[in-house]
C-alpha cells in the first residue's frame, strides 16, 4: 500500500535562494522528516509484537483502519493540524505493524526466520539509502516516472487479486521484483520532493517515505523467504 502522490508538482529547485540558508533549511527538514520516519518505524516494530497473535480476519480489519488513518492524514494537512497529522502518522505505523504481526511471528518461529527478518531490515536500509540518495541528487524531474510507477502499482494490485483465484506460475517472485522496481521510483521521487520541501510538508513526506520503507521491507522479506524454501 502507498500514498505517494505522483500528481504533485515537480520538486522546485532551490538554487535561486541564498545558498547557506537553503542548505541549513534543507538539513533541518531532512532531519525532522527522517526522525519521524524512524519513530514511525519503531511504532511498526511495536505493533508487530502486539499483533503477533491476531487472526486473519482481525489483521484485515487492522489494515482497513490503517487505510482510514492514512486518509485522515490528508484531512489533517488541509486543516493545518500538525499535531493531529503526527499522531495519525504514528498510528499508521502502529496499525500496519499490527497488521503484519502474524506474518512476522510466522517468520520468527521457523528455523533461521529471525535471521531472514534482520537481513531484510538491513537490505531495506541499503535500498532506501541508495535510491534515496539518487533521488536527492538528481536534477531530472521524476514526477513523470512516479506517475508511471503509480499506475504500475495499481496494475500489480489488480493482478495480485486475480492471482488469488488463478494460479500464475512464478507470480510470487515476479510480484516482489516488480514491486521493488516500482518502489525504487517512489523512493527516488519522495527524496527529490524532500530536497525541496518546507516544514509544512514534513509529516506527509515522512508518511510517503515510511510507506516506501514498509513496502520494500515486505518485498525483500518475501524474496528472502522464498530463497530459504
- pLDDT tens for the 229 residues of the chain, in order: 444 444 344 333 333 333 444 444 878 899 999 999 999 999 999 999 999 999 989 999 999 999 999 988 888 777 676 788 899 999 999 999 999 999 999 999 888 889 999 999 999 999 999 999 999 999 999 999 999 999 999 999 999 888 888 887 888 899 999 999 999 999 999 999 999 888 888 999 999 999 999 999 999 999 998 876 5
CB 204 within 8 A of CB 85: yes
What pTM was computed for the model? 0.85
Query: What burial letters (b/e) apply to 90-106, b meaning 16+ CB within 10 Å?
Result: bbbbbbbbbbbbbbbbe
How far CA 12 is from CA of 34, 84, 163, 185, 198, in Å, comes to 20, 27, 40, 18, 11
Task: Quote the pLDDT of residue 48.
Answer: 95
Q: Could you tell me how far CA 88 lies from the centroid of its own chain?
A: 15
Task: Quote the pLDDT of residue 15.
Answer: 31
Of the candidates 220, 207, 219, which has an alpha carbon nearest to the alpha carbon of residue 44? 207
Task: Quote the pLDDT of residue 76.
Answer: 77
Task: Quote the pLDDT of residue 19.
Answer: 40
Long-range contacts of 211-215 (CB under 8 A, 24+ apart): 211/1, 211/2, 211/3, 211/4, 212/2, 212/4, 212/128, 212/183, 212/186, 212/187, 213/37, 213/41, 213/124, 213/128, 214/44, 214/96, 215/1, 215/2, 215/179, 215/183
Other CB atoms within 10 Å distance of the CB of residue 174? 14
Amino acid at each position: 500500500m502507498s500514498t505517494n502522490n505522483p500528481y504533485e508538482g515537480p520538486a522546485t529547485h532551490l538554487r535561486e535562494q541564498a545558498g547557506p540558508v537553503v542548505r541549513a533549511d534543507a538539513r533541518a527538514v531532512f532531519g525532522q522528516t527522517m526522525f519521524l520516519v524512524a519513530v514511525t518505524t519503531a511504532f511498526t516494530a511495536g505493533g508487530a509484537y502486539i499483533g503477533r497473535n491476531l487472526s486473519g480476519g482481525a489483521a484485515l480489519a487492522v489494515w482497513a483502519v490503517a487505510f482510514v488513518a492514512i486518509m485522515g492524514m490528508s484531512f489533517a494537512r488541509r486543516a493545518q493540524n500538525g499535531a493531529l497529522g503526527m499522531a495519525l502518522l504514528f498510528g499508521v505505523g502502529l496499525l500496519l505493524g499490527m497488521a503484519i504481526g502474524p506474518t512476522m511471528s510466522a517468520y520468527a518461529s521457523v528455523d533461521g526466520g529471525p535471521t531472514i527478518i534482520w537481513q531484510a531490515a538491513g537490505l531495506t536500509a541499503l535500498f532506501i539509502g541508495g535510491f534515496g540518495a539518487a533521488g536527492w541528487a538528481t536534477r531530472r524531474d521524476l514526477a513523470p516516472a512516479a506517475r508511471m510507477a503509480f499506475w504500475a502499482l495499481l496494475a500489480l494490485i489488480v493482478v495480485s487479486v486475480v492471482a488469488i483465484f488463478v494460479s500464475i506460475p512464478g507470480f510470487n517472485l515476479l510480484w516482489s521484483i516488480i514491486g521493488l522496481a516500482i518502489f525504487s521510483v517512489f523512493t527516488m521521487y519522495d527524496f527529490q520532493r524532500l530536497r525541496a520541501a518546507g516544514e509544512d510538508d514534513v509529516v506527509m513526506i515522512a508518511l510517503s517515505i515510511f510507506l516506501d520503507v514498509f513496502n520494500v521491507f515486505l518485498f525483500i522479506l518475501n524474496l528472502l523467504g522464498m530463497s530459504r524454501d
